[in-house]
Amino acid sequence: MLSFADETWWSRLAQPALHRWTAREPLRLVEQVSPKGDPDPKALCCYGLLRTDRANVLLRFVDGRPVSHVTMGFLAWVCTQLARERKKVLALVWDNASWHISHAVRTWICAHNQQVKRHGGVRLWPCRLPIKSPWLNPIEPHWVHDKRAIAEPARLLTAAEVRSRICDYFGYNHVAHLEQLVA
């Protein structure tokens, strides 16, 4: 199965660039200010996998930011999902983010593929995009359209509202977040 992976951030404060015709006054999007003592993060991070066989996006939110061990958790989760569908190989096209090409992730993929060879499962075949070429990744427009679709010009959304709108947009059932390991 061919797929395209990437990570993105949804800001609760900054508004996306929008183009809209209005009959009356122009729509004004103002960058919001986080109130003092707001417990929600300023932005939400999410891994995404665009499936070419179904033209949908698998999402997994992250508590914190994308790093190597979180990427390995995401890949393991994706392989589990695809193994249920009896997929054999996942051709994974992604960029050269440091957490994609790290020694830990490359070692994990090799060990995972050896395990699959012995016991079955979904083999990973990572394919890197050229450096600084986001237009080659078809998942990028999904992020742009989603950010525009969930924008709220009048007020600051809570993190739960942002997550809910993202899940509604993608038709996704929320799964527990990937967690950062704290040393």
pLDDT tens digits along 102-147: 999 999 999 999 999 999 999 999 999 988 888 899 999 998 888 8
Evaluate whether 63 touches 178 at the Cβ level (below 8 Å).
yes
Please report, for the chain, the start and end positions of each structural domain, with discontinuous segments joined by +: 2-10+42-179
36-69 pLDDT, tens digit per residue, is 877 888 888 999 999 999 888 999 999 888 899 9
Q: What is the 3-state secondary structure (H, E, C) of 32-46?
A: CCCCCCCCCCCEEEE
- CATH level 3 topology of 2-10+42-179: Nucleotidyltransferase; domain 5 (3.30.420)
Please give the model's pTM, rounded to 2 decimal places: 0.84
Asked if 47 and 81 touch (Cβ cutoff 8 Å), the reply is no
Distances (CA, A) of 100 to 6, 105, 132: 10, 6, 14
The percentage of residues in the chain with a pLDDT greater than 70, rounded to a whole number, is: 87
Identify the residue whose tokens are 């569908």.
85
The Cα 173–Cα 59 span in angstroms is: 9
- What is the structure's pLDDT at 64? 85
